[in-house]
Amino acid sequence: MTVKKVFSKIALLTSGGDAPGMNAVIRSVVRTCVFHKIVPIGVSKGYDGLIKGNMSEMNARSVKGIINKGGTILKTARSKGFRTKAGREEAFENLKKNNIDGLIVIGGDGTFTGGLIFSEEFNFPVIGVPATIDNDIFGTSHTVGFDSATNTVMEAIDKIRDTASSHNRLFFIEVMGRDAGHIALNTGVAAGAEEILIPEENLGLDRLIQSLKRSQKTGKSSSIVVVAEGDNTGENVFQLKDYVEEHLSDYEARVAVLGHMQRGGSPTCFDRVLASRLGVKAVESIINGETISMVGLQNNIVKLTPFKKAIKGITKINTELLKVSDIMSI
């Protein structure tokens, strides 16, 4: 007969780049712990806080008024120390010293890689909650923060469109996504971009020129090219602008780099609901003895994916969106 482990304290931390909705996950994890008579322990500044022992008890009231707030009240970091065995040993000692018997990590694939190594090294229960604006985690259709960031970007592009069409200008708008084009692709379609450049596909500079020529011929008063940070042309937005101005002298082009404003702001309704659902599942999974996995949304059902799969798996871009964008931008 297997005896079910009883959890008395569960620690939680946010790690990697912040994302709108991280606070909503924290709130959900904390309140689910309290609901199940488990003491939630908040760790400050990601894995660094675990190494330094920066942690304190939370309760249902310590997460009041944060569901609508951007950023993370627990702070976040990309920890170098946790990449070392010595750092992880210190983290384990701190968890033991504080009688903590489970850990919930909120972040992206770097966060889960740390969680996987730690969990295997010390046989310690760890569950992950995907929160990154990039939406590049395998095992969930949506990461917490993606919907909010895409809405922020869409609104920014709408505003740029106003000035672009007043001046008959072409704008190159750089959005986040070092390795993934989900933000660019979705916001490009939503804001009616003429072209979308992403890391996953190289459509070539010739095609860009042809498409912009066509836009001019068909009487468009402005053009928007949405460019993901890590786009596949090998050129950055400023080089792209120069290239187009060299080849199409009629165009007056400008560049807008949206930068870190994409990571801020109040989370959308979708992200708040997603965060709340994933937080509950994360705590209940640990309680039920399921570990070394990530909670995620699959066909609108909350499910677990082992860390190993979530980290190795590659999220595919929706190629249908490329086709839709092509047709819409005639």
d(CA 88, CA 51): 7
User: How many Å separate Cα 153 from the centre of its chain?
Assistant: 14
What character string, x for contact with ligand F6P (CB under 6 A) and - otherwise, covers 161-190? ---------------xxx------------
CB of 276 vs ligand F6P, minimal distance in Å: 21
List alpha helices for 53-181, DSSP H.
85-97, 109-122, 146-167
Task: Name which of residues 99 to 138 contact ligand F6P (CB under 6 A).
Answer: 132-134
Q: Kindly tell me which of 44 and 132 has the beta carbon lying closer to ligand F6P.
A: 132
Closest approach, Cβ 150 to ligand F6P, in A, equals 12
Tell me which residue has its CB nearest to ligand F6P: 17
Q: Does 80 bind ligand F6P (CB under 6 A)?
A: no
Helix H or strand E encompassing 298 = strand 293-298
One of 101, 147, 200, 229 touching ligand F6P (CB under 6 A): 229
**What is d(CA 193, CA 173) in angstroms, rounded to the nearest whole number?**
10
Residue 134 is a catalytic residue: yes
**Residue 178 or 323 having the CB closest to ligand F6P:** 178
**Dihedral over Cα of 109, 115, 118, 123: its sign:** negative
Q: Total number of residues binding ligand F6P (CB under 6 A)? A: 9
Nearer to ligand F6P, 108 or 115 (CB): 108
- Identified catalytic residue from 134, 147, 231, 271: 134
List all residues 6 or more positions away from 30 whose beta carbon is below 8 Å from its beta carbon.
12, 40, 42, 58, 59, 60, 62, 63
Phi, psi for residue 71 in degrees, rounded to 5: 75, -160
Question: In terms of CB distance, is 174 or 194 closer to ligand F6P?
Answer: 174
42 binds ligand F6P (CB under 6 A): no
Single out the residue of 199, 183, 195, 285 nearest to residue 236, CA to CA. Answer: 199
- Count how many Cα atoms sit within 13 Å of the Cα of residue 267 in the half-sphere of its side chain: 30
CB of 100 to ligand F6P, least distance (A): 27
Alpha-carbon distance of 311 to 239, in angstroms, equals 33
Is the Cβ of residue 130 or residue 177 nearer to ligand F6P in the bound state?
177
Q: Kindly list the residues in this chain that would bind ligand F6P in the complex (CB under 6 A).
A: 17, 132-134, 176-178, 229, 263
Residues assigned a catalytic role: 134
